[in-house]
Amino acid sequence: MEEFRELALLLKNYSADQHIEVFDSSSIKQIPFWPARPFEDGHADADHQVEPNPGVNGQAKSTSHDPNQSRQRLWNTLLFLDLTQEDHYDPRRVAYLCWQRLAVLKTLMSAGAFKSLREIAESILQMATAYELTTIVIETAAQLRQFCALHNGNMRGFEKYSRIINQYENILQAEQAADDEYCAFLFLQNQASSSAQSLAKHAKEACQRLQPHAQSCTTSAFVLNFYFLKLQAAFLDSEWEAVVQISNQATHLLNRKSISSPAKISAFFLSKALGWANLGQLDQAQEALNTAIADEVEGSSNWYRLQEMKLTWLLHQGEHTVALDLTKNLNLKNKYPEWPQEQKRLYNSVLLSLTDSGELPISNRVKGMLMGNCLPFRSLYLPEMSSSNLDTQAALLLLQVPKWVQSGASGQLANWFQQYLELSGACTSQSARIQTLITSLLEIELGKKPAESAQEAINKLKNLPLDYSSPEAAPEIIRIEHILHALIEI
């Protein structure tokens, strides 16, 4: 049984970085890994030694065929993973590997039980358990239970694998229930008739249905879907303390696992950052945001988006010098790939406006670097409405509010922002904040003193906090309150 020994050795050393073509179980059955005649007990035995026939000059010769030919057919039969994948520990990669090993194992066990196959099955079971591959755990345990029942009369082993099957069948039921609830929520979310209230209600009811499983099932597949639904309910109801708490619970569970997706953990840290930001705790929000940034690939689109969020929060805190240092780093082509041009110009323009107002003293060299990539925000003109860059236009015009008021054209600016609200579809909270600015500009146009109108608007904005969870908050790279304070000082 030299050929079978080669197969057993190959499966034991089966790793995720080898390459094979296509798996076909029928091909394996055609490979004569066992003799044509059965043994006395009706099964081939892995421990049985096949006596070699003497060949030419006394050299041994195989009783069946060339072992090299058998090995080559085996390599052409099994399916391994692609070498081009960088992460050898990707759960999807390991799952793919386990399924192929299990398929080969089941094929060989159906042809005859070999003691060495149990060792191979145990290794599959251990890997599938570590990577929380629930279905593979059940399938492999079933093979081991069958081996114990039919071939060695091991009742303890039979009971052990029966318990594993029962345990993981319950886990599989919980995972499938969570996945069904997640898909149902996404479907409802894509319906035009859905409202924030109906979505929040659906998410809460889904969590209630899943709660009985939460105590006994802590696999990543269940945790991600269950806590995603809990987060959605909290977000939609603007329960920011709950958002922080849920994110902490999810990251705590995921960080305890030996195998977890950094991208999924990063998403929960971002949710926690948004929760802290909406609670007005920007220091703690930035701490969570830094963790989310660290898990992103430097230079990726998500990485830049998170860095821009950090830039905005620094400016909202008045940390202008720190924001400038971060902007200079993002501008360095030799350190990071190209920062998206429109965003680069926007943030460079914001920093230049702070320089012009005397809030950010910088050297001429740095000022020249910023001016090399900025938008023409100094000229007083109303840009043509374009849905492709409305937020950028609005952000730049917010910076120019004091100049527009000084030039006596506050009414024109108020009309522009009114059109912005109609075209942008800004969320309710953001719309209310900009509407407050519009009212102030119209009052000034009608003859009210700028300082008096701006102070009244600032008082109103205290009851209208900026919603950091909404992408429509993008225009307020510099908060409206900050701009109105500049208007008071004119």
Show me where the domains of the chain are located: 2-50+62-153, 296-375, 382-490
Question: Taking each helix axis from N to C terminus, what angle separates 2-12 and 115-130, rounded to the nearest 10 degrees?
Answer: 10
pLDDT for residue 56:
38
Nearest to 390 by CA among 481, 471, 303: 471
Calpha distance 250→244 (Å, rounded): 10
What are the structure tokens assigned to 295, written together?
């898990």
pLDDT for residue 215:
84
Checking 467-472 for CB contacts under 8 A at 24+ apart, the result is 467/238, 467/278, 467/427, 467/429, 467/430, 468/274, 468/277, 468/278, 468/285, 469/235, 469/274, 469/277, 469/278, 470/427, 470/429, 470/430, 472/391, 472/424, 472/425, 472/426, 472/427, 472/430
Alpha helices in 112-189 (DSSP H): 115-130, 134-147, 155-189
Q: In the chain, which stretches have pLDDT less than 70?
A: 1-93, 107-116, 151-153, 258, 333-334, 375-388, 425-428, 471-473, 490
SS3 (DSSP) at 2 = helix
- Quick check: pTM over 0.85? no
433-455: per-residue pLDDT in tens? 999 999 999 999 998 999 999 99
Calpha distance 354→357 (Å, rounded): 5
Calpha distance 246→307 (Å, rounded): 24
Compute CA distances 119 → 10, 123, 136, 150, 310, whole Å: 13, 6, 16, 16, 52
Calpha distance 371→454 (Å, rounded): 30
Give the DSSP H or E segment for 211. Answer: helix 196-214
Burial, 418: exposed, middle or buried (Cβ in 10 Å; 0-12, 13-18, 19+)? middle
The answer to whether 360 and 490 are in contact (CB under 8 A) is no
